[in-house]
Structure 1
Amino acid sequence: MEFEKGTIVQLKSGGPAMIVTGQTGDRVECLWYGDVADDVKTGTVPSFCLVEAEIEEVDDR
């Protein structure tokens, strides 16, 4: 499965929302925020483990 850079994804098993930063073959490079402020994590995940995240739009009006 192919994901475009900037797509927000999540592991099929759950977990934090992650941003796709690249893809090589079936390996997807992701970035996400950890539990502590300014704690940015990165990792590479097989594409079959990911789904596009469902993000709720917030109306700030």
Structure 2
Amino acid sequence: MEFAPGDVVELKSGGPLLTVVTATAEKVSCIWFEETVGEFRTHEFAPVLLSKAELEGEEEDEDEEDEDEDER
């Protein structure tokens, strides 16, 4: 799976939502806000450890865009 800057991902094993900063075939650099300490954290992960997060309302937004295009 390919990742791009701005993608919201999560570890397959669970944890907070992460935002992709940079991505290559070998590593994905992510940032997230760690609420327990009140600061941002960054880490590089192997792509195999991540999956794209399913965000609430994401499908609805795509459906609305499709409807808008159909009306044109």
**TM more than 0.5:** yes
Instruction: Name the one with the larger helix percent.
Output: 2
Structure 1 residues without counterparts, runs of 5 or longer: none
CA distance in 1: counterparts of 2:29 and 2:2, whole angstroms: 12
Give the Å deviation of 1:24: 3.0
Q: 3-state SS of the aligned residue for 1:20?
A: strand
Runs of 4+, deviation exceeding 6 Å: none
Q: 3-state SS of the aligned residue for 2:15?
A: strand
Q: Which has the larger radius of gyration?
A: 2
Instruction: Name the one with the larger strand percent.
Output: 1
Aligned residues: 56
| TM-score, normalised via structure 1 length | 0.83
| TM-score, normalised via structure 2 length | 0.71
What's the RMSD between the two structures over aligned residues?
A: 1.1
Give the Å deviation of 1:2: 1.9
- Which of the pair has the greater relative contact order for Cα pairs under 8 Å at 6+ separation? 1
Q: What is the letter of the counterpart of residue 54 of structure 1?
A: E
Q: Which residue of 2 aligns with 1:19?
A: 19
Q: Which residue of 1 aligns with 2:54?
A: 54
Identity within the alignment, %: 39
